[in-house]
């Protein structure tokens, strides 16, 4: 639980990398198994569903900022 909370509140290179990887892995699983609910995917990854959703939202925001910077 602490690790999940740490990812939510600290934004450094390490946590950003973990967030990006978690989002890519969850998307890979979803693409391979479109019928699976996100809650199941989060559980397989050892994350509460709310944490995975927050990570996805933050990654989307980071991607949008990166596109603006380019």
State the pLDDT confidence band at 51, using cuts at 50, 70 and 90.
very high
17 vs 49: which has the higher pLDDT: 49
**Contact predicate 36/43, CB 8 Å:** no
Complete DSSP assignment for 9-52: H--SHHHHHHHHHHHHHHHHHHHH-TTS-HHHHHHHTT--HHHH
63 vs 26: which has the higher pLDDT: 26
pLDDT at 40: 96
- Kindly state the average pLDDT of the residues 22-48: 94
């Amino acid at each position: 639980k602490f690790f999940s909370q740490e990812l939510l509140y600290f934004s450094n290179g390490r946590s950003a990398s973990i967030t990006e990887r978690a989002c890519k892995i969850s998307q890979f699983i979803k693409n391979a198994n479109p019928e699976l609910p996100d809650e199941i995917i989060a559980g397989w990854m050892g994350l509460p569903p709310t944490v995975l959703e927050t990570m996805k939202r933050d990654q989307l925001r980071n991607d949008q900022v990166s596109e603006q910077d380019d």
